[in-house]
Amino acid sequence: MDLSYNADELAFRDEVRAFLEEKLPKEMSDAVREGRSLGKDGHDRWHAILNEQGWLAPNWPREFGGCEWNAVQRHIFEEECCRAHAPRIVPFGLTMLGPVLQKFGSKAQQDYYLPRILSGEDWWCQGYSEPGAGSDLASLKTKAVRDGDHYVVNGQKTWTTLGQYANWIFCLVRTDPDAKQQEGISFLLIDMDTPGIEVRPIILLDGTHEVNEVWFTDVRVPVENLVGEENKGWTYAKYLLTHERTNIAGVGFSQAGLDAVKRMARAEMSGGRPLIENPHFAARLARAEIDLMAMATTNLRIISRAASGQAPGVESSMLKVKGTIIRQEINDLARRAAGIYAMPFASEAVEGGNEPPIGPEGADHVGAQYFNNRKLSIFGGSNEIQRNIIAKVKLGGGA
């Protein structure tokens, strides 16, 4: 047992810190800390900075231009990025599609798409969910019918995160309506500029435009955009869902969130004393921190096992459930800390305007963020679905 990083890991951490200090633009980290949206330009800019450093694809093998970092290094990198309030890397191309193409894509697909993901030329979005197919993803209905050298795609995807910025979408489509649900699904790459695609915004409960509906009407997709084999898409989708989940616990986010709550609670006064000294608030804060400390170690235990080659199984479900509960609890603490100033809907602050903040530092976005992050326990396999998996495995029903 050794709870600390070894010398190499510490050296790596220092290198990451130095890089972030030098290269992360202050206006960007300010925006992240204050919960303002960066827009496409902001994301593109940070993407380019990381790419220049060669640190854009921590999980990719070197042959494809990645860092090939091990799980601990990836964890350190993510942790430091959160600490420094670096923008989140949009995961769809880099952590989702990339590994699928590397494992199942053709040489031509790898050569064409992977460099474009790194260069930022392509912005990918994920077309899995449909109105009728959420937790039960395999019931998806969007269909692709072969017509000569093309598939003709009809149907609707929904909840497509940042689809408004994307020029490509990877989709699960039904290619064999007669096969058993999971066996008739294929994995298609679709250019968003193809005629017949319409993107409609969905506004979330905090007023943000983060997700979309994507409608397909007779969209012609060249057959070479099929990944792997026809009707094998479910295998690839599952690989994508279970493979890249290093940051599923969101420990770095929680840590940054907890620090922010503490900052606010030191400045806010309650009954003539700093809120952080209020026994009720302090108890809530302490419970969250105690949970987070244990979570951080659980996370590292699982990560180091993964680093030594063991694939995480039911543990990633555990990390997802507990990690999101802790993050949401910290969001709850933040809104409590802000007191009456959790009430304003600071749309300017959220959308990156120039108005001065309404409440004390850090308070403007906490109300909106509390609501927005209810998504954490819904997407990526809801917490109920994760618990089903845990129970099934632990009670011996098999995974």
Partner 1 sequence: MNFELTETRQMLQDSLRRFLSDRYTTEVRNKIIDSDAGLSTEIWDQLAELGVIGALFTEEQGGFGGAGFDVTTVFEELGRAGVVEPLLDTAILGGGLIAALGDADQQSLVERVIAGDLHLAFAHSEPGGRYDLNHVATSVTAEDGGVTLTGRKAVVANAEAAEILVVSARESGEAGDEDGISLFLVPRDAAGVSVRGYPLLAGGRAAEVDLDQVSLPESARLGAPGAAYSAIAERVSAASVALAAEALGAMETATELTRGYLLTRQQFGRPIGTFQVLQHRMADLWIELEQARSAVINAAGHLEGDARMRDLNVAAARNLIGRAGRLVAEDTIQMHGGIAMTQEYELAHIAKRIVMSDHRFGDTDHHLEQFIALSA
Active site residues: 244
Q: Which residue, 213 or 259, has its beta carbon nearer to ligand FAD?
A: 213
Of the listed pieces 48-56, 117-125, 315-323, 339-347, which binds partner 1 according to CB under 8 A? 339-347
Spatial separation of the C-alpha atoms in residues 175 and 220, rounded to whole Å: 14
The bridge status of strand 150-157 relative to strand 143-147 is antiparallel
Interface pattern 202-221 for ligand FAD (x via CB under 6 A): --------xx----------
Q: Is 18 helix (H, G, I), strand (E, B) or coil?
A: helix
DSSP 246: T
Spatial separation of the C-alpha atoms in residues 236 and 104, rounded to whole Å: 7
What is the smallest separation between the CB atom of 234 and partner 1, expressed in angstroms? 15
- Binding residues for ligand FAD, rule CB under 6 A, total 17
Spatial separation of the C-alpha atoms in residues 110 and 147, rounded to whole Å: 25
Kindly state whether residue 340 participates in binding partner 1, applying the rule CB under 8 A: yes
Kindly state whether residue 377 participates in binding partner 1, applying the rule CB under 8 A: yes
Q: Which does 202 bind (CB under 5 to 8 A by kind): ligand FAD, partner 1, none?
A: partner 1
Secondary structure element (H or E) that encloses residue 47, with its range:
helix 39-53
- At position 311, the amino acid (one-letter code) is A
Length of the chain: 399
Footprint (CB under 8 A) of partner 1, residues 245-274: 268-272
What is the smallest separation between the CB atom of 342 and partner 1, expressed in angstroms? 5
Q: Which does 161 bind (CB under 5 to 8 A by kind): partner 1, ligand FAD, none?
A: ligand FAD
Q: Which residue, 99 or 184, has its beta carbon nearer to partner 1?
A: 184
Kindly state whether residue 382 participates in binding ligand FAD, applying the rule CB under 6 A: yes
Cα 297–chain centre separation? 21
Would residue 219 be called left, alpha or beta, if left means φ above 0 and alpha means ψ between -120 and 50 degrees?
Answer: beta
Number of other residues whose CB lies within 10 A of the CB of residue 389: 19
Of the listed pieces 20-28, 70-78, 111-119, 371-379, which binds partner 1 according to CB under 8 A? 371-379
Spatial separation of the C-alpha atoms in residues 196 and 265, rounded to whole Å: 52
Q: Is 61 helix (H, G, I), strand (E, B) or coil?
A: coil
DSSP 282: H
What is the smallest separation between the CB atom of 389 and partner 1, expressed in angstroms? 13
Looking up tokens 């927005």, which residue turns up?
A: 372
Q: Which residues bind partner 1 (CB under 8 A)?
A: 129, 132, 134-136, 139, 158-159, 202-207, 268-272, 275, 278, 280-281, 284, 328, 332, 335-336, 339-347, 358-360, 367-368, 370-371, 374-375, 377-379, 382-384, 387
Q: Which residues bind ligand FAD (CB under 6 A)?
A: 126, 128-129, 134-135, 159-161, 210-211, 375, 378-379, 382, 384-385, 388
